[in-house]
Amino acid sequence: MQVHLAQFNTATLRRPLDHPESASYVALLDETNARAEASPEFGWRHGIDSRDSSYKGFHRDVFRRRAEWFDASGAVMWWIPAGTIPELRECVERLEFLRRHGPTPYGFETGQKVAQLVMVVRSADDPEVRAITGASSADGLVHVALLDERAVGVARSVGDEVRIWSSADVSLDWLEPALQVHARCAPSAA
């Protein structure tokens, strides 16, 4: 499966964008974004106030200066199936998950080494899904956690309830909470 690295960051400016203390930051925005968007790795950026995903060269240098302009900031990275675009709610939840649980394959920071986890939607009657859930057949779609391309967990969201299954030979303390969060915030698999 082809995957891309997703990254979400958020920050709280000390002063409004039109304040003189924010002027040096504002002066760098257009060039920072233009360079990032021109890089071959760039895929997509959410909205006008979301500032981009590539931490190389010029953008990295500006990012390292963030303490000059921001009171608080946070960033999270995770793997997504190539060509997909995460919804804002999922981005926010991934960052909160990282803050609560520390770095895991579900959400990590730049420079951290973690196993590759990709959440995908599959049919409930998929053989890998049935192997985990124990169901001989089922209807609908489910969220499947693929850890280094191996199915290790399944989540099914029905209304406000989320049902979780994990592979019998996998014991990861972060997996069940990650599946719970994902099933509630990712695009519906139902």
Rounded to two decimals, what is the model's pTM? 0.81
* 30 has a pLDDT exceeding 60: yes
Work out the average pLDDT over 49-75: 71
Torsion 126-167-76-10 (CA) sign:
positive
The residues that bridge with 77 in the sheet, in sequence order, are 7, 108
- The edge-to-edge listing of strands for the beta sheet with 70-81 is 3-13, 70-81, 117-123, 141-147, 150-158, 161-166
Confidence of residue 72 (pLDDT cuts 50, 70, 90): confident
Write out the E strands in 14-102: 70-81
Token pair for 80: 């997504």
